[in-house]
Chain A
Amino acid sequence: MLMYVVRRLLQAVPVVIGTTFLIYFMVFAMPGDPILAMFGDKTPNQATYDALAAQYHLDQPFLVQYGLYMKDLFSGNLGTTFSGQSVGEVLARTFPVTLKLAAMAIALEFSLAVILGLFAGLRKGKLFDNVTLVIGLVMLSVPIFVLGFLAQYFVAIKWGWASPTVGSDTSIANMWLPAVVLALSLFTTSMRLMRGTVIDTRSRDFVRTAYAKGLPGRRVIPVHVLRNSLIPVVTNSAANFGVLMVGATVTEGIFNVPGVGNTLYQAIIRGEGPTVVSFVTVMVLAYVVINILVDLLYAVLDPRIRYA
């Protein structure tokens, strides 16, 4: 088990190097001069320009820039943003917010998917199944900014049930609306997966055996159908969680959530190579760790899976 986790983490090393290299290269290759962009309409004098270029290694060839950056990264120095803040501090401020929002959204998405999917599967072809399908498809096809603005306008502004923007108060009470919007935009695929596996599991031989033992339906469904149906849903929800970790940029924008999505977006626009790469590195790591956790969760759900 421990060996397995260590092996998986070691596998993450080439993944991190590969992604950072690609990201660094893309930011490097972006048109426009990042230092000039910092000054907006004004033009800095040559000395200031050279000093800034030297500070961010912008005067070096690409490979040297990347090498120097990675050296800093591994020694724990994430560098500073162009506006002078330490990238480490910005990350420490924004990442927990995104993590919290993503966790809330996924907890909601997973519950919705499992509960609605279970009942849709048990009532296959009936009214409940069809109604959840239609609602799910609507949520899936409406773009998230439409859903976000509608929720903001009706739920927050018109009915006053939630605060329209999050701002600096990132408590659960203040962030529930964006979490619900994210959950609604994501739950359909997990729900349909759940429904399909429930239908499949229900016709399996061991379920018939469970009934033959004399168990009532209220025990067979949770014990023999629900648990066996969870694996694909866990996979899908975990993948969704990974997506949210990268920052629900649009939703964070609408509700003014001070998370990584917003910050990363600004950094990309400004061509801040080090900031972008630092953020992406942390996201890649988060993604890898989440995937390891999911794989370990499989072993809990299915005893046939054992990691050596």
Chain B
Amino acid sequence: MTQETTPVTDSAEPLVSIKDLEIGFQTGNGFVQAVKGVSFDIFPGETVAIVGESGSGKSTTATGIIDLLPSNGRITGGQVMFGGKDLTKASKQEIVRVRGREIGYVPQDPMSNLNPVWSVGFQVREAVLANNMAKNKKDADRRAIEVLQEAGLADAERRMKQFPHQFSGGMRQRVLIGIGLAADPKLLIADEPTSALDVTVQRVILDHLESLTREKNTALLLITHDLGLAAERASKVIVMYQGKIVEAGPSLELLQNPQHPYTKRLIAAAPSLASQRLKSSRVVAEAPQGDEIDLAAASAHRHEVVEQADHAGTPAIEVKDLTKVFSIRRGSFRSEPFTAVDKVNFQVPRGTTMALVGESGSGKSTVAKMVLGLETATEGEILIGGKDATALNREEMLAHRRRMQPVFQDPYGSLDPMRSIGSIIQEPLDVHKIGGRKERENRVNEVIDEVALPRTVLSRYPNELSGGQRQRIAIARALALKPDVVILDEAVSALDVLVQAQILQLLADLQEELGLTYLFITHDLAVVRVVADDVAVMERGKIVEHGKVEDIFTNAQTEYTQKLLDAIPGANIPLGA
């Protein structure tokens, strides 16, 4: 929607000119080069996006520009020309003068980037005073309020004395954007400014950032892992891979006609740019891409399977009038009821995938917890394969859990770091006393084959594996008991696009092979489109819309769903071949 906002004028001098920038880190295993000779220009008022997966060096490049590298990082070569000066050779005082005043910075995670012990007003005022934007404290207060209001905090005056923990993630990010723009810098570096936020909030924040930078003619360097988002927001996209720029150019052109194989892979793997349900990779095997995973190409045939499943006996999961009421403390003795889940009804036919979608706080994870029996339902029924799961004794619960296994969001937090992979996968078999030692070992080998990892990883530990590998382990652990139902709670949200695509493909393969039923909890509608058959949209504890994925995507009935759909970055970008 914003392709023409920032005309690139060839005659103008670039604002920032980066030449052959090299940055490395001193690690336990010696010196590691993270950025290997990166060169690009940013012109005044232009929006440039750097795209890449984690470890590609995109954030390192961004922080390297104003020397905000972690203490073990060091610029080893090249130059960053800004206002006629090379920032890599600037003195400490010089760089302090440039930071904030000339080049603003908006960090990634709004939760950890504000100091919890100082009020929001104090932290904004600090930015105002540091850059001589005010003469005295009163003046600084006024300017701080102005900055926050510009960043979209309407009641800034009242909230100045509040602390970061009293703000939501979206509001904190507005504060950080306000701080970044407090001194009207010429360039704003935004390092994944919205990755930690809900899609709808993400859209509002990005729109706001865009209008602010346009108004003040601020150049924007946007770091993101989301190609759709980059293409939608930036006039120029730079794709980084392993510390090098592999491709750069005008965003639409780059997206529609990618030259480098890595860019092609990125585009194919981005769920926000793909359009249809994944099918098992065997069906796609004849496709020309071969081993490449292409979410857009892996489609079709799926409805027939689903059609059949719909009529095949009892649903795998059936939820009737499910309600959860929490009591929230207000003061020392009073508490009031809060209905987190309100009379939710849905059915998941055997062998299909239902996605439960909503923003944080919509109650989707609470539903998942109740279905798993990790949280008791206040009211309502949960039928798993026709059996009521809400009124089970200990033994029945154990048997029930065997048929239903979870995979959680964070592959770093959900695996015990002190145990080997083999013992992690085997634990459910031990708990449920399945077979003897030999049989358990065989089963572990089987599932590790199923998730396509070499058996050698069994003797390794979680910290030796990548995020994608860990999530495969989490899936293997869930599959060890041969469950009927797998509950995936934001199971791919923490992964890079390419890895995400692999895991989604793996899930589709396993579903076809083992006839699994998935309940897929996510905030990301883009992912829903490629994995789910049915979708239920939750808002404030209620299901507001429920139906087939194609129907919802082509013809959303409620405003809320439409809002979620519109928030998918890059959804409206026409793609080339």
Contact = CB atoms under 8 A, between A and B. Distances in A.
User: Do A and B make up one complex?
Assistant: yes
A75 to B, nearest CB: 32
Given A212-B100, A214-B96, A214-B97, A205 B130 contact: no
Nearest to A3: B332
Contact of B179 (A209, A219, A302, A303): A209
A211 B68 contact: yes
Q: Is the interface of A mostly helix, strand, loop or mixed?
A: helix
A204 B331 CA distance: 32
Interface string A244-281: 00000000000000000000000000000000000000
B113 A206 contact: yes
B75 to A, nearest CB: 16
A227 B117 contact: yes
Contacts of A204: 112
A208 B69 CA distance: 9
A124 to B, nearest CB: 9
B68 A303 contact: no
Interface in B99-132: 99-101, 104-105, 107, 109, 112-119, 126-127, 130-131
A215 interface: yes
Interface in A178-236: 202-217, 219, 223-224, 227-228
A206 B112 contact: yes
B413 interface: no
A213 B107 contact: no
B116 A214 contact: no
A210 B68 contact: no
A208 B100 contact: no
Contacts of A208: 63, 68, 107, 113
Contact of A205 (B66, B71, B109, B127): B109
Contacts of B165: 303-304
Contacts of A302: 116-117
Interface in A272-308: 301-304, 308
Nearest to A227: B117
Contacts of A223: 118, 126
Contacts of A224: 115, 118
Chain B facing A: main interface SS: loop
How extensive is the interface on chain B, given as a class? 35 or more
B344 interface: no
A216 B96 contact: yes
B408 interface: no
Given A206-B115, A302-B117, A303-B163, A213 B66 contact: no
A3 B334 CA distance: 14
B71 A209 contact: no
Interface string B455-486: 00000000000000000000000000000000
A228 B117 contact: yes
A303 B116 contact: yes
B41 to A, nearest CB: 22
B112 A212 contact: no
B183 interface: yes
A216 B131 CA distance: 11
Contacts of A303: 116-117, 119, 163, 165
A206 B118 CA distance: 11
A270 B305 CA distance: 90
A41 to B, nearest CB: 61
Contacts of A212: 66, 68, 99-100, 104-105, 107, 180
Given A3-B332, A209-B179, A213-B127, 4 more contacts: A204-B112, A213-B179, A214-B99, A301-B117
23 contacts: A202-B71, A203-B71, A206-B116, A208-B107, A208-B113, A209-B105, A209-B114, A211-B99, A212-B68, A212-B99, A212-B100, A213-B99, A213-B126, A214-B96, A214-B99, A214-B127, A214-B131, A214-B183, A216-B96, A216-B130, A217-B92, A301-B117, A303-B117
Interface of B: 63, 66, 68, 70-71, 92-93, 96-101, 104-105, 107, 109, 112-119, 126-127, 130-131, 163, 165, 176, 179-180, 182-183, 331-332
Task: Please provide the 7 A-B residue pairs with the shortest distance between their CB atoms, ordered closest to farther.
Answer: A214-B100, A212-B105, A213-B127, A205-B112, A214-B99, A206-B115, A214-B130
